[in-house]
Amino acid sequence: MSATVEFARMNGLGNKILVVDMRGRPDKVTSAAAVALNADPQTEFDQIMAIHDPKADGTDAFIDILNSDGSKAQACGNGTRCVVQALAAETGRKAFTFQTVAGILNAVEHEDGTISVDMGRPVFGWQKIPLAEEFHDTSRIELQIGPIDNPVLHSPSVMSMGNPHAIFWVDRDVMSYDLARFGPLLENHPMFPERANITLAQVTSPTSMTTRTWERGAGLTLACGSAACSAAVSAARTGRTGRKVTINVASAKPPAVLSIEWRERDDHVIMTGPAEWEWSGRLDPSTGLWSRDADRGAEAQ
């Protein structure tokens, strides 16, 4: 068995993704390899999407997801779109079914190149998100940052979209908040025993909103698909918008949009947006040593 595997550097709305082909192998991308890859400016990433042979009947692949700190992630919508684009280019197919630790994901590439991912049903129960305290209504919980009489952020909507999310509603530009300072405090707040993704959301109309996210295990991110889904669902759940919205991802480079529908007939969340291939190479899933296709003969320094 070769020590190296093929991988592609891709992005979804700027969300930095490494798609790693682990099919036909029994091993996994290690946490140490993930940390090493993220430490290199050329391969730093938000998530690794490792494609493994299917484990369940009726699925095309099992996707193992790693954050940039080497921890496991349950879901990554932007990364899933990248996997679909990569496999569609390889196979000529348009529709795929993936298994993750969070469940089954169905996805399809459209003629215009955009990709829709069925992210499944949102979870609202406090024990399943999970939270450390009981809340009967998780559309608004007691949590704040800043002075008690004048908090900077407060009363988030919380839910799981395969991973825990807290949505803080703001009334000014999401880029004007010091999320780099607040994000780590909130991600690791005792309220979230499995940590949480922290999103600032500004509703701009009944059908649109702007978001910015501090991602669990990755930090400030240019985009986070599951966070966009969680913001859209939470906005509809609290009466701020309808069930179909356009998300302006403020930190994406360049700024970009996702279309999110919380489908009424089955409560599934459908996310539609782009993916982009950047370059490809090979890497050692044990150590993280890598080379680009253009300079395959030498390992990167």
Per-residue pLDDT tens digits for 84-133: 999 999 999 999 999 999 889 999 999 999 999 999 999 999 999 999 99
- pLDDT category, 295, cuts 50, 70, 90? low
pLDDT at residue 296 greater than cutoff 60: no
Write out pLDDT tens, residues 120-138.
999 999 999 999 999 999 9
Rounded CA separation 298/296 (Å): 6
Structure confidence at residue 13 as a pLDDT band (50, 70, 90): confident
pLDDT of residue 218: 87
The per-residue pLDDT for range 250-291, each reduced to its tens digit, is: 887 777 789 999 999 999 999 999 999 999 999 999 999 999
Active site residue 224: yes
For 20-70, write each residue's pLDDT tens digit. Answer: 999 999 999 999 999 999 999 999 999 999 999 999 999 999 999 999 999
Residue 297 is predicted with a pLDDT of 41
Q: Which two tokens stand for residue 202?
A: 């500004």
Q: What pLDDT, on the 0 to 100 scale, is given for residue 300?
A: 44
Question: Out of 5, 8, 73, 76, which one is annotated catalytic?
Answer: 76
Percent of the chain beyond pLDDT 90?
85
Give the mean model confidence (pLDDT) for residues 237-250: 96
CB 56 within 8 A of CB 88: no
Q: Is the pLDDT of residue 2 over 80?
A: no
**CA gap 78, 115 in Å, rounded:** 10
> How far is residue 165's CA from residue 23's CA, in Å, rounded to a whole number?
31
Q: Does the pLDDT value for residue 170 go beyond 70?
A: yes
Nearest CA to 76 among 64, 62, 85, 94? 64
Average pLDDT of the segment spanning 166-182 = 96
User: Per-residue pLDDT tens for 131-165?
Assistant: 999 999 999 999 999 899 999 999 999 999 989 99
Confidence of residue 1 (pLDDT cuts 50, 70, 90): low
Higher pLDDT, 35 or 295: 35
Q: Which residues pair with 98 in a beta bridge?
A: 61, 105
In sign, the C-alpha dihedral spanning 220, 225, 229, 230 is negative
Supply φ then ψ for residue 282, to 5 degrees: -130, 150
**Can 76 be counted among the known catalytic residues?**
yes
Q: Over the range 246-271, which residues count as b (16 or more CB within 10 Å of their CB) and which as e?
A: bbbbbbbeeebbbbbbbeeeeeebbb
20, 224, 233, 275: the active-site residue: 224
Q: What is the pLDDT of residue 299?
A: 44
Is the model's pLDDT at 301 over the cut of 70?
no
**Mean pLDDT over all residues of the chain?**
93
